[in-house]
A = this chain, B = another copy of it.
Amino acid sequence: MSKQANNIFYAQSGGVTAVINASACGVIETARNHSELGKVFAGRNGIIGALREELIDTSVESAATIADLRHTPAGAFGSCRYKLKSVEQNRAEYERLIDVFKAHDIGYFFYNGGGDSQDTANKVAQFSQQMNFPITCIGIPKTVDNDLPITDTCPGFGSVAKYVAVSIREAGLDVASMCESSTKVFVMEVMGRHAGWIAGAAGLAAENEGDAPHIIVFPEIAFDQAAFLAKVKESVGKYGYCAIVVSEGAHYADGTFLADAGSKDAFGHVQLGGVAPTLATMIKAELGYKYHWAVSDYLQRAARHIASGTDVAQAYAMGQAAVELALAGKNAVMPIIVRESSNPYRWSVGEARLSDVANVEKKMPRDFITADGFGITAKAREYFAPLILGEDYPPYRNGLPQYARLQQVLVPKKLAPWTGK
């Protein structure tokens, strides 16, 4: 094989989080400390940036700007929803990646994303061997869905968890204030199409009997309308109100999403999202309670202002570890978070093979959910609690958080335009 090039290509992939830039910060700051490494190029809009040869040169950014990434939400270089096919299906894409990497002396590929991205990174590692142009491929875990295997948690999740727990605590107090003469039911919809990790974490807000949330609706449990309505009625009877957290993926036993259960908008289209209003109007129709509902959507995963300090530290550590693993000669691996102890919380950095991570979805264990299907168990609480520990506030100016503004200077192109997309 030829001598390995020493520039780094870093790309963000899939839905962004409040802390993915903290991982980028970890990569860039660590790489800058190692003279044997060259420049860090970031893909403009993720892997698409590599295919288009749109490489953002992070070396022109000041140390202060790079440091700002640690407290900046969303994807500073742009992300994308774009999954490379298999080598057999689209060999040209892989060849293009290698061509771009060669042209820019890139010997390291750090892919910051979820299960699909780890799969891609693994394929690139294999393909680069075939092409006799060695690329060290390291995955960096990221997903608010918390569904990557092996790692104890995924950077991005702890901050969403904190946001939803704080939000339902606050909104619960609001409803409690109003319930005597006004709103009695509040429904908050949270992300999680396939797994209830985020919904479950909202349960941390309930520390004492009667605290919000009173009901959690999980995608793991088929929705039972009669049992649900009985529980709402019971909560209103006991506490005067009912605060509900519902996962967007909540569905009936036949698999139909609650959110797709027939709502049509003014244009006659089936309304997507909106399981919260669906539940709220169901309660109104069946029990007559006045309701309010909220759908946080992107607000929850972008909420850097209330990020978990633990999550920020872990996201940074994953970026740092990616560089260190690469320098240690590892390939086709992903740093992971290893839980050493829950109470007191202690964690360390481990590693997993990309082939073991790729395309495996970690489900929430059934024993995290109470027998009635509407709450979390002590075991779940033990798991979730450390992940929201610590506050890590961004700096403010004029009353607003100040987030990194990068120059986004592109490296001059050397190749013909990519015609694949």
Contact = CB atoms under 8 A, between A and B. Distances in A.
A347 interface: no
Interface in A205-235: 205, 207-208
A377 interface: no
A266 interface: yes
A72 B174 CA distance: 10
A326 B204 CA distance: 43
A12 interface: yes
Given A74-B177, A170-B304, A267 B294 contact: no
A302 interface: yes
Contacts of A46: 181
Contacts of A403: 169, 173
A401 B180 contact: no
A294 B80 CA distance: 21
A308 interface: yes
A297 B292 contact: yes
Contacts of A73: 170, 173-174
A262 to B, nearest CB: 4
Interface in A267-315: 267, 269, 271, 273-274, 276-278, 281-282, 284-285, 292-299, 301-306, 308, 310
A166 B305 contact: yes
A376 to B, nearest CB: 15
A269 B281 contact: yes
A385 interface: yes
A299 B302 contact: no
Residue among A171, A265, A267 facing the most chain B CB atoms (10 A cut-off): A265
Interface string A391-421: 1010010111101010000000000000000
Given A82-B181, A269-B284, A276-B295, 17 more contacts: A15-B178, A74-B177, A76-B177, A78-B177, A78-B180, A79-B178, A80-B178, A166-B305, A169-B400, A170-B298, A205-B400, A271-B277, A274-B277, A294-B299, A308-B399, A389-B398, A393-B393
28 contacts: A12-B177, A16-B177, A18-B170, A45-B180, A72-B173, A74-B176, A76-B177, A78-B176, A78-B180, A80-B178, A80-B182, A81-B178, A171-B302, A186-B298, A204-B398, A205-B400, A207-B398, A265-B277, A265-B281, A267-B282, A274-B277, A276-B295, A292-B298, A293-B295, A294-B295, A385-B398, A388-B400, A391-B399
